[in-house]
Amino acid sequence: MQSSDQGPEAAAARFTGRAVTGVRPVSGTLAEVTLDDGRVVMVKRQDAPGGVRAEAAGLRWLGAAGAVRVPAVHGHDGRWLVTDRVADGRPGGRAAVRFGRDLAALHASGAEAFGAPPPGGPTDASIGLAPMRNVTGTDWPTWYAEHRVLPYLRRAVDDGTVRAAEAEVFERVCERLPELAGPAEPPARLHGDLWNGNVLWGADGHAWLIDPAAHGGHRETDLAMLRLFGCPHLDDVLDGYQEAAPLADGWRDRVALHQLFPLLVHAVLFGRSYAVRALQAARVTLAG
């Protein structure tokens, strides 16, 4: 048990300047805290070095684009992050189209380079519970291979999750990335971990983004991750996106390529079933 001076109540009071009147644990690392003025904030604990700093910087960077909505950050330290709570709503077609347009605007707001961290964010960040290094590169195919595919492939092989003989398929994808990547695009401002659980459908009729692994990358990566684990009204999201910023020809054929990164991350974290899916994605990419 944590003492009260180390718990979410103390973090909420410290970063909002308000007294706390109630706490509701949501999970082992997340709590809703009610303040004496009636507002409710979310208090999240992260123990990974640099994790809180990376998430706070990512939220602020995404919010600075003035596009997709993100919760305001009240404050953070080495362990605790305090943000606004998003009031729950329901996903709908109109909100999904709006989300697609807003996501296109977020991506178009850009980044300094592929792999660039948010301002104030650390180079050594994380995606979920896995480490993620924000090391910059000048072209997307080389950067994606060196910093988003191969590090997780090596870890998965070392762990025995990907068999040594299977690694060659991923290595061939990396070798052919310049021809597989499609037309060159400028670095986009990515959420970076855009699966359905990090999209909240708010009571205000807007989609809100939480828990980013933000960095400069290729805009198709965010969209491929939305498809990977399912998203309500995804066709409407894509319609809104295409209206605002049409994707390059052949983008559907590149979905599997962009899913290699999150699938290998999941293989490292959760085991062989995701390694099999990653291998399938690599083979689809080569066959396409």
What residues act catalytically? 193
Helix (H, G, I), strand (E, B) or coil at 138: coil
d(CA 227, CA 255): 8
Q: Is 44 strand, coil or helix? A: strand
Helix ranges (H only) for 80-130 are: 93-108
Residue 211 contacts residue 193 (beta carbons within 8 Å): yes
CA distance 77 to 180: 42
Q: How many CB atoms lie within 10 A of CB 180?
A: 18
Per the CB < 8 A criterion, the answer to whether 153 and 112 are in contact is no
Question: Distance between CA 180 and CA 142 in Å, rounded?
Answer: 12
- Integer CA distances (angstroms), 37 to 80, 81, 115, in order: 21, 20, 40
Residue for token pair 């990419």: 285
